[in-house]
């Protein structure tokens, strides 16, 4: 076909752009209601950031993926609700939330701190005090309790009102005790952004959780990597209920005429000259919104002005996180006990968070017998790494090296046992929730009919980021049904 000409594809009641967990969740809900939809996905297969990495005989998640529940138990998450609603089973296991401190002085030893959910917010702060190595006076503990109480008392609405207040500024204005300031500052990289970019509203909402339900619960699905446990059953359900999956197609633009969605134009990645048009009165955009805007998939004029500005800022702040994969010749790291550890290293002045360690066995990765798969997760938001979107490889390698050094101190023999290692940079996901950007982006631009924003597209204060793409699938499905029936 000549360049520029457009082939007409099939028509659907709804088109979903992006086949990650967010797009797939909406697709399944619509399919259950008998809506004829198609998911158009750029990659050769569905799954988005929940897809597996194949690595020297192993299959593992492409980043360390745990589910976090602000609701007190795994069964109360929206991921669970979705599976229940569709009649699909979802078994889970709880994962201990652990910190590990490594020092040169104690080779072969790692100090652990595990959360006790019963202790609530106080425990959480002690967790950070442990990490920073600072012992707290009674005065500091009192101050911590005062702050915990402030966040506990804040309603969701009050949290929303302060999403444009920087957490660092709030701490400066409201916390006198320098030890407490340091502890609060130390939380930010684990949240996923440098403290100056983190908004107080979302931090308050998360901290309030500890008081409300004791702790943020961390869990992992049982049947295997996320692709097997979450994506495969959803994809099967979707197809069996009439959903059409169109892969290796990159959506170039969402078509809007007279302020109504009319379909999409997609490019066949196997044949770059081929453009295809699919028409539908409903288009659900389930790709990161700043990518969608930067690539003109959604034109800015169709968004509210303040949303466009917020999206531009999210794009500016967007970073990559680094995952590392280490296949070990033998089992060097004890499998019993802690499978996921925040690693802090004393050798960089103050104890410094250098990233997370996760054993493949915890995330049900497939690993050849006798070998061990160790994964790292190094947030690009750490002061020392701060990859940015165009990550200089020097910084990436430096972060990877620091992490390996810290792990070697705790588990001597780790480096020697490495048979293969690999790295994977992935787009950070917490910016939507935690960055200081003054507005929430809702799931529907008010001035265009039939266009919906799903998955990581929207920015919402209220939902734990990992559960958000499942949460918003429900109201989107309701709105689409209303729209189609009108």
Binding site residues, ligand FAD, CB under 6 A: 17-23, 40-43, 48-50, 63-67, 250-251, 286-287, 297, 321, 323, 426-429, 455-456, 466, 469
| Smallest distance, ligand FAD to C-beta of residue 221, A | 10
DSSP string, 207-240: HHHHHHHSS-EEEEESSSSHIIIIIHHHHHHHHH
DSSP bridge partners of 221: 92
Tell me the HSE value of 321 on the side-chain side, using a 13 A CA sphere. Answer: 25
Of residues 170 and 429, the one with the C-beta less far from ligand FAD: 429
| Smallest distance, ligand FAD to C-beta of residue 108, A | 29
| Smallest distance, ligand FAD to C-beta of residue 404, A | 18
Smallest CA-to-CA distance from 37 within 283, 249, 268 is with 283
Of residues 39 and 179, the one with the C-beta less far from ligand FAD: 39
Of residues 287 and 332, the one with the C-beta less far from ligand FAD: 287
| Smallest distance, ligand FAD to C-beta of residue 326, A | 16
Of residues 9 and 18, the one with the C-beta less far from ligand FAD: 18
How many angstroms separate the CA atoms of 80 and 217, rounded? 14
Would you state the structure tokens that stand for residue 234, as one six-digit string? 């959803």
DSSP string, 467-481: HHHHHTHHHHHHHHH
| Smallest distance, ligand FAD to C-beta of residue 275, A | 13
In the complex, residue closest to ligand FAD by CB: 20
Of residues 144 and 433, the one with the C-beta less far from ligand FAD: 433
DSSP bridge partners of 327: 373, 420
Smallest CA-to-CA distance from 78 within 33, 21, 32 is with 21
What sign does the dihedral 31-34-40-44 (CA atoms) show? Answer: positive
| Smallest distance, ligand FAD to C-beta of residue 43, A | 4
End-to-end CA distance of the chain: 38
Residue listed under structure tokens 């990289």: 189
Of residues 227 and 456, the one with the C-beta less far from ligand FAD: 456
| Smallest distance, ligand FAD to C-beta of residue 158, A | 26
Of residues 52 and 132, the one with the C-beta less far from ligand FAD: 52
DSSP bridge partners of 60: 53
Of residues 129 and 319, the one with the C-beta less far from ligand FAD: 319
Q: What is the chain's percent helix, strand, coil content, to nearest 5?
A: 40, 25, 35
Of residues 140 and 463, the one with the C-beta less far from ligand FAD: 463
| Smallest distance, ligand FAD to C-beta of residue 288, A | 6
Strands, DSSP E only, in 30-132?
37-40, 52-55, 58-61, 67-69, 92-94, 98-102, 111-114
Strands, DSSP E only, in 87-236?
92-94, 98-102, 111-114, 217-221
| Smallest distance, ligand FAD to C-beta of residue 289, A | 10
Coil vs helix vs strand at 486: coil
């Amino acid at each position: 076909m000549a360049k520029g000409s457009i082939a007409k594809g099939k028509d659907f009641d709804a088109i979903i752009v992006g086949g990650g967990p967010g797009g797939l969740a909406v697709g399944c809900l619509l399919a259950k209601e008998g809506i004829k939809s198609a998911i158009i996905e750029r990659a050769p297969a569905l799954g988005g950031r929940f897809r597996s990495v194949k690595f020297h005989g192993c299959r593992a998640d492409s980043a360390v993926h745990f589910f976090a529940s602000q609701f007190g138990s795994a069964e109360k998450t929206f991921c669970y609700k979705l599976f229940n609603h569709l009649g699909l089973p979802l078994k889970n296991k709880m994962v201990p939330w652990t910190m590990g401190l490594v020092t040169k002085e104690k080779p072969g030893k790692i100090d652990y701190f595990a959360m006790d959910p019963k202790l609530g917010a106080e425990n959480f702060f002690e967790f950070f005090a442990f990490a920073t190595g600072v012992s707290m006076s009674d005065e500091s503990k009192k101050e911590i309790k005062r702050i915990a109480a402030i966040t506990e008392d804040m309603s969701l609405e009050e949290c929303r009102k302060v999403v444009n207040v920087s957490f660092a500024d709030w701490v400066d204005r409201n916390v006198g005790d320098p030890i407490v300031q340091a502890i609060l500052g130390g939380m930010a990289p684990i949240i996923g952004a440098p403290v100056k970019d983190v908004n107080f509203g979302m931090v308050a909402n998360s901290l309030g959780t500890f008081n409300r339900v004791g702790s943020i619960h961390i869990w992992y699905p049982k049947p295997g990597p996320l692709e097997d446990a979450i994506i495969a059953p959803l994809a099967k359900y979707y197809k069996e209920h009439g959903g059409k999956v169109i892969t290796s197609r990159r959506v170039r633009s969402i078509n809007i005429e007279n302020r109504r969605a009319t379909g999409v134009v997609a490019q066949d990645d196997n044949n770059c000259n081929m453009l295809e048009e699919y028409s539908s009165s409903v288009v659900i955009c389930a790709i990161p919104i700043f990518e969608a805007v930067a690539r003109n998939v959604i034109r800015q004029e169709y968004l509210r002005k303040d949303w466009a500005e917020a999206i531009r800022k999210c794009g500016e702040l967007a970073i990559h996180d680094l995952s590392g994969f280490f296949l070990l010749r033998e089992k060097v790291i004890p499998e019993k006990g802690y499978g996921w550890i925040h690693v802090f290293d004393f050798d960089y002045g103050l104890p410094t968070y250098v990233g997370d360690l996760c054993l493949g066995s915890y995330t049900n990765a497939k690993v050849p017998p006798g070998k061990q798969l160790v994964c790292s997760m190094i947030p690009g938001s750490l002061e020392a790494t701060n990859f940015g979107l165009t990550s200089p490889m020097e910084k990436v390698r430096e972060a990877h090296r620091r992490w390996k050094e810290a792990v070697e101190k705790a588990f001597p023999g780790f480096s020697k046992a490495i048979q293969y290692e690999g790295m994977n940079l992935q787009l950070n996901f917490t910016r939507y929730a935690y960055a200081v950007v003054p507005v929430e982006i809702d799931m529907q631009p008010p001035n265009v009919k039939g266009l919906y924003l799903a998955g990581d597209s929207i920015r919402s204060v209220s939902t734990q980021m990992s559960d958000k793409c499942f949460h918003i699938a429900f109201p989107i499905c309701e709105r689409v049904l209303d729209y189609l029936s009108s």
